[in-house]
Structure 1
Amino acid sequence: MDPDSSAGSRPCAAVGPALRPRKLRMRISQADPWSVMKVSFLLSLAVGIYMIVSVAVLWAVPATIGLIDPAPWLSPGWVLKITAAVAVINTGLATSLATLAAFVYNATARFVGGSELTLSEGE
């Protein structure tokens, strides 16, 4: 008996017709505002940290190699304080707007039934 002819090693195409990917239709009828708030807060917090780090790097590199000669009132500490303030305001606004959007989505989903997604299984 040939070892390749065992039932466990046969390819799927030899067993039957080619398998098509399965499709699943889902409807998003409600978004939990608390979950939306937590996720949007963490994402906007990450964006705020990214903003502070990128401004610090974009300020430090040209200043170190002598490309810029900032005015005395435009110190690195002042620039980072303004950047941190913008990041905090951005975090608060993004979190509150995303939470408000979840409430608005829930209100409109009651009338129209929500959003429909079609998911398909990959190969």
Structure 2
Amino acid sequence: MEQGGVRAYPDPTPGPRTMRLRISEGEPWSVIVASFLLLAGLGVVAIATTIVVWIMLEVMAPNALPSLTTVLTIVFGIVALEVVLGTCLAALCTFIYNLSAQHKGGVEVALTDDLTVRPRPPHRCSCNWPGPVSAPVATCASTPRPGSPTP
């Protein structure tokens, strides 16, 4: 079938498409940069939260806390330590993953574009309780517990 000089071919495989990827190694420098940026962002959030909490506590109980400069000095030290140690840990985990992936082949990930909602299986209980299938049997009044004597 032609549409404006371009041939349109129907999709040869109807239904959802699935692609399998194998993550065979991680690039250490990319992991270091990404983990540094993530941890630095979390550090900024921690510092901002500390300032907000210090201000709120200072309003509720004046002069009961150390000065803001003392609190921020401690928080900056903790955040700097967290960023350095977290980045080193991420790099170490990348090297360990690369070593294990050489022997086992890495991790396989399946991606799909299937967005259909699957119907839920019917409830196994004889009552009309609308709970999930994995709910304990004891929640249903008409079904006795397994192993319990029948009246």
Q: Please indicate the TM-score interval, normalised by the length of the shorter structure.
A: 0.7 to 0.9
* CA drift at 1:71: 4.3
Task: Give TM-score scaled by structure 1 length.
Answer: 0.79
Q: Which runs of 5+ in 1 are unaligned?
A: 1-6, 9-14
2:95 matched residue in structure 1: 103
* Residue identity matched to 1:68: A
1:81 matched residue in structure 2: 73
Rounded to whole Å, the distance in 2 between the matches of 1:28 and 1:89 is: 30
- Which of 1 and 2 has higher RCO (CA within 8 Å, sep 6+)? 1
1:94 matched residue in structure 2: 86
Rounded to whole Å, the distance in 1 between the matches of 2:62 and 2:85 is: 34
User: Equivalent of 1:41, from 25, 32, 36?
Assistant: 36
User: Equivalent of 1:24, from 19, 29, 38?
Assistant: 19
Structure 1 moving runs of 4+ over 2 Å = 68-72
* Residue identity matched to 2:32: M
Higher alpha-carbon Rg: 2
Identical positions, percent:
34
Task: Give TM-score scaled by structure 2 length.
Answer: 0.65
1:68 matched residue in structure 2: 61
* CA drift at 1:122: 4.4
What's the RMSD between the two structures over aligned residues? Answer: 2.3
Rounded to whole Å, the distance in 2 between the matches of 1:68 and 1:27 is: 57
* CA drift at 1:20: 1.4
* CA drift at 1:69: 3.6
Specify which structure has the higher proportion of helix: 1
